[in-house]
Structure 1
Amino acid sequence: MELQTGQYMGEVPFTASVGGIVLATSQHLPRTSIPAHHHVNPHFTYVLEGSYTEVHNGHQRHCQVGDLLFHPRQWEHTNAFQYQSAACFNVEIGPDCLPLGTALSNTRSHQLVASPPLKALVRSIIKEVRQPDCFSEAIAFGYAVQLAGTFLRGQRPGRVASRAIRRVQALLDDTPQHTPTLPELAQVAGLSPDYLCRDFKRVTGMTPGEYLRHKKIARVCDLLAKPGLSTEEIAFQVGFADASHLSRVFRKVMGQPPAAYRKALL
């Protein structure tokens, strides 16, 4: 099944289009499913409420509140909404949004986007949609362009990671609550600290320290979606010294305090 520009399954209580970009909210009831389908345009999906399972070529991905996913054009998949309802906010980049539409159409990899700044851009779009004024359309369009452009910047060709850099990334991905020193990372990579920093930034666009901070904040964003956890408990789980330390780093990465981010989620 092919879904045309601006077409989404389930109930679609909101849709808007400006400059080749479509914004849409889709809602789905529990114990329902969407058969195999694909979209003619690439789009980002942010999970606002609930959870669901997405299946492509037999591979499953569990999607939950706070997840941001990139779907390439013509990427066929199914969705199953098991025991609870779900709501998603979609940012679709059409071919008329030049040159972003063309560039994104050539991006073939489906991805779970962990970058907190990209998630923050989507939240900013949602805020403009929910609290509109006479400038909201232009501002939301600007955020959507920034979202697509920043995402594409991270997909630049030629940034091939060596085995040593992949080992360091795996360590930082698997244990974001731990804060290894640069000499420790260099030992894992088998490289000098200076060379590790240069090569790591060439591949990821960030230093190892910046990369780890983004991983920590991505984990914090996930935990803030759970109302039963205090900021102090989250700081302990993720490896910050205390709630104050968490708040400083969170504000630097996300541009807002944890309390404001949580309020927008709940």
Structure 2
Amino acid sequence: MAMLTGRTWAGVAIDQLSAYTVSEMAVGPRDHHLLAINLADHPYVRAKRCGRVYESAGRLGEAAIIPAGEASTWDGNVPAHVTVRIPASAIIEMASDVLPMGTPHQAIANNFRIRDPFIANMAAIFSLEISRAPHPAQDVLVESLVTALLLHLLRGYTGVPWRDEQPLRNVAPAALHRALAYIEDQPGVRVSLGDLAAVAGLSRFHFSRLFRRYVGMPPALYVERSRIERAKAMICIGQLSLADIAYAVGFADQSHFTRRFRHHEGRTPSDYQRDHAWQRHPRRKI
């Protein structure tokens, strides 16, 4: 078994592993729920847990859920996959945050084979982000996705009663203003969704919903746009190289900075720099 890379966001560990072959590999009970999503097809795997046995070929994007406290046995060709290790407390906390008080708690269900486009898309994004150099919106983005995934699992894989529309809580404008100021005041610091929610005095779930409702975009996009605007101002000042500007606004990878700058501005940082050079060095009249 070879883990290619792994990161932890909001207490949830996300790992990417390469393919491997096992023979009656026994895994003891875990203290967390495990969500495993295939990154490739595989010809055969046999899994045993919760008193049941399942064997089949598998497809790209299919997933399995192993509840906390369950031992398992594996045999066959395990494909490259992403694992999401979810503390048991995270599902309970999400339930207490979004469900009416007194709703009976239901354990997350064992599943050998899930075909869920939402989960498959999450795995693709997680795979990309855990291999990508840090960028300004990364922590906010992935924590937002983790929050959405927890909500999805609670709604679809625990059996709890659910209403599609959960009412938004009222919040004082000052709470969101504190979060916006926090973003603007720390242009070079990596900002997480947990940081912003704490500044606003809200849970990650409610902060994300309220932010999008009142600001008009998700927190991750706002953070990235804020950093691009700061980069534009620094380019116009002309005291730093583009590589230094990228680093100053939170991009560890200049090529990713260039791609995201072009996404927002329709041109590269170099083009923007050239177009605004006349502001610093106007031509003399002859």
TM-score w.r.t. length of structure 1 = 0.47
| Larger radius of gyration between Structure 1 and Structure 2 | 2
